[in-house]
Amino acid sequence: MHTKNINTHRIEISDSFSAAVSVDCVIFGFDENELKVLLIESDLNEFKGKWSLLGDIMHPEEDLESAAYRVLRERTGLEDVYMEQVQAFGAVNRHPVGRVVTIAYYSLVNISHVELKTHNNELHWHAIKDLQDMAFDHRDILQTCLERLQHKVIQQPVGFNLLPRKFSLRELQNLYEAILDVKLDRRNFRKKFFAMDYLIDLNEEEQEVPHRPARLYKFNHEKYNQQRKKNLGF
């Protein structure tokens, strides 16, 4: 039995340099009462005509989070957005050019704040319910991140990152129904959010809408952060 030492590890690591690490970003947005994801048309012949998530190989000087934020910034122009690491995907043949392990992140952005930056291939928002076949294993990555988001919005009010600063209760409920893919009872939904006391009534109403104007609210970030610190014992 041989005991490994630092030199043994150096040889093993050197032999593994044929593998690469990438990040893939599932960028969620909400528009026209639909949950959407930002996709780019694949430029690989193996996936011609298919859509893929936004991602890239991690640069040598980057850590994972820096690489994910770089991808987000280069494609949307945004930096200060909600982002969460989900998990690694490392199937042996997941990438046609070689051994690539990818780390998936999801982020929540307000579509109206995004200025898309395209290069040579197309970049579009797609309704998640309309997506089937995708490049690489990106449909599996998207589904995994969606399930994480669904679990998260039940536990924490992260969905507010997808809404404009001022929103109606109708918009808020439409968002949660789009994320969870369920129809929610209007009375119970509103009762739950008012009980959490995270909504600030702006004493304003919607303007130029084809239906009866609804009251507008905004999310009380300060109160939520205070309550979260209290729950954590800070």
Please list the residues that pair with 85 across neighbouring strands.
105
Model confidence band, residue 184 (pLDDT cutoffs 50, 70, 90): very high
With beta carbons less than 8 A apart as the criterion, state whether 81 and 72 touch.
yes
11 compared with 28, residue with greater pLDDT: 28
Q: What is the pLDDT of residue 229?
A: 80
In the numeric block, the tokens 């989070």 are attached to 65
CATH number (3.30.70.2190, 3.10.150.10, 3.90.79.10, 3.90.380.10) of 12-154 reads 3.90.79.10
CATH number (1.10.3090.10, 2.60.120.620, 1.10.10.10, 1.20.1060.10) of 166-232 reads 1.10.10.10
Residue 97 burial (CB < 10 Å; 0-12/13-18/19+)? exposed
| pTM beyond cutoff 0.95 | no
Q: At what angle do helices 169-180 and 186-196 cross, to 10 degrees?
A: 110
Q: What is the pLDDT of residue 16?
A: 58
Model confidence pLDDT, tens digit, residues 9-27: 456 556 656 789 999 999 9
Cβ count near 75 (within 10 Å): 22
Q: What is the pLDDT of residue 227?
A: 82
Alpha carbon distance, N-terminus to C-terminus of the chain: 50
Q: Quick one: tokens of 147?
A: 């399930």
Q: Domain ranges for the chain, please list them.
A: 12-154, 166-232
* CA dist., res. 159 & res. 60, Å (int): 33
pLDDT at 193 over 60: yes
* CA dist., res. 221 & res. 198, Å (int): 8
pLDDT at 162 over 50: yes
Q: What is the pLDDT of residue 208?
A: 82
Ramachandran assignment for 124, one of left (phi > 0), alpha (psi -120 to 50 degrees), beta (any other): beta
